[in-house]
Structure 1
């Protein structure tokens, strides 16, 4: 929150951070049963010139390493340290519990990104969300929340946000210029929903698969972040997009009609034609194999890599209502 006693300064974790300062502070969340303190490192890079405050955050789900690596690289390379105006708050890992345990959740099995705005007396996930809302959210004007596909699913590099609702959010997504921009409704208890309720604009960047580094997606995420910051006047220059953005108003999953072993030769980013074979589900005993044909046309934006599937499991995520950028 702003510090009334010092013009231009704000308070974070008990510290007064003035314009022009660079600070690393640690938010203490809780302790493990062993007594080990769990804290969240928070980097703050402030310009001497007034301007917006941008949040760059990853590791909401501890096994989603691509966003963690994206922010880590930008910090390590010194690419965030001197905004032309305003402030950057960079949090490489919010869910330290999940990161330590290669897990999406916190130890009580709950999802931090379904626990906002949280409670100081709630579950572990709720307490993490509450601490963030109390310390970080009041400072934020805009943000990028970095994520990765979960449960053995990979996502093609994409931005998710509410399209057509707020012109400023649309402009931020367009500036990021990911290969795909998806209209995504707000989910109850999510960071995006909590931010929207307070008039703060946060977009989500997704790429790759949990527990695997996606080099291409990481570099695209960095470049998109620089364009996002340039759009806000916080950077003088940023790399141009390498391809036109495909805007997706509607998307759906193709789901398994049969249980068995699933295999496909398709990749994310490919265009899928209606009637095209996109994979095979076979029983494990060599008695049956079913060829899968797509009932729709669209771009493949997500793919299930789990070979063993049950009826109803999501196989391909397809963007079916698209507008070339």
Structure 2
């Protein structure tokens, strides 16, 4: 960790905590659009970690997670190294309750970006240069896309042993091996040598208490795991981590017909091969089309919209060596977390 860290022209010294706004573009009326950033630097050397959310503007659970994390002032004052918190990357989408940018591009498909490219590309470029490339670690917070709810899960490239250990330390029920996707922040960060986790949980445009607490606690456990926070202090502040399960693969079950979906299963439920997950009916109830599981596994994602069109993704099923054990572990429920915000 260098003696001084500079982000978008603002210098943060060791032992300082600063809020800054990273300039990106202007609206039609000349209003400046900026990305909010808060930097906390410990007095002692340690790693640099960025935590980001709302790369898709409608994924607001992560924004609330980071807000709560930053309220733990006493705990964060003891960190070693540097925490860079970026609650809203896609400020354009966030202010309009939209997933994408004004140019209709998905920001998470244009990394590492370009200094003179599209708006999306310029935002990606600046975020890489000013934030990502100054870090050794990263945690990117996501939710399900529109009308989909995800079980708390970590998606990571598990062939990397250190990333696998970080995924375990996060402490969510399910860890899914996920290869890199072209243009994603995770891919671009990995290519720069940054070890990054992607957290998925909850639904777009909705706060979910279980998801928010799970993400916040996972961040704190990860900071502990990389030496930024004292392990004994974390044990007193954060609930015990759950047992985690590795998914060998996952797949979506899609609607075999258009109509109204009546689900019989929910996230966290174990399903057997050919088991009925629900049925799709026409408005008069004259037709009924059953939706069945292709393989034995656990549901880690589900559509929240009952009106479906033929081919729509309905149930996201992860497969495990022991699906029953996973379902039992998830069914134990969420611990009674103590927020203990200082």
TM-score, normalised by the number of residues in structure 2: 0.90
Which of the residues 9, 12, 17 maps onto 1:17?
A: 12
1:230 matched to 2:224: yes
Structure 1 residue 151 and structure 2 residue 150: aligned?
no
Match of 2:39 among 38, 41, 44: 44
Distance 1:119 1:49 in 2: 35
Q: Distance between the aligned counterparts of 1:79 and 1:106, measured in 2?
A: 36
Q: Give the superposition deviation at 1:19.
A: 0.9
Q: Report matched runs for 1:111-122 at 5 Å.
A: 111-122=106-117
Number of the residue aligned with 1:274: 273
1:89-148 Cα offsets, whole Å, 9 max, x none, are 001111100111101101110011001011122111111101101211221110110000
How far is 1:322 from its partner?
Answer: 4.4
Alpha-carbon distance in structure 2 between the residues aligned to 1:193 and 1:82: 31
Alpha-carbon distance in structure 2 between the residues aligned to 1:194 and 1:275? 39
Give the alignment's Cα RMSD to 1 decimal: 1.6
Query: Which of 201, 204, 212 is the equivalent residue of 1:207?
Result: 201
CA distance in 1, matches of 2:271, 2:73: 41
Higher helix share: 2
Pairing 1:130–2:125 present: yes
Q: For residues 197-220 of structure 1, what are the alpha-carbon distances to aligned partners after superposition, in whole Å with 9 as ceiling and x for unaligned? A: 111111011110001111001111
Q: TM-score, normalised by structure 1?
A: 0.94
Deviations 1:295-325 (A, max 9, x none): 2111100001111212211110001134669
Distance 1:80 1:34, change over 3 A: farther
Once residues 137 and 57 of structure 1 are traced to their aligned partners in structure 2, the CA distance between those partners, rounded to angstroms, is 10
Unpaired runs of at least 5, structure 1: none
Deviation of 1:261 after TM superposition, in Å, equals 1.2
Structure 1 range deviating more: 230-239 or 98-107: 230-239
Give the Cα separation in 2 of the matches to 1:33 and 1:167.
47
| 1:241 Cα deviation after fit | 3.7
Is 1:64 aligned to 2:59, yes or no?
Answer: yes
Q: Which runs of 5+ in 2 are unaligned?
A: 330-342
- For 2:243, what is the secondary structure of its paired residue? coil
Name the structure 2 match of 1:317: 316
Aligned position for 2:170: 176
Structure 1 consecutive aligned stretches of length 4 or more whose deviation exceeds 4 Å: 322-325
CA separation in 2, counterparts of 1:231 and 1:281? 46
Q: How does 1:190-269 map to 2 (within 5 A)?
A: 190-236=184-230, 237-238=233-234, 239-269=238-268
Q: CA deviation at 1:83?
A: 4.1
Distance 1:79 1:176 in 2: 21
CA deviation map 1:17-42 (0-9, x unaligned): 11111111110110111211100111
| Structure 1 residue 192, shift from structure 2 partner | 0.5
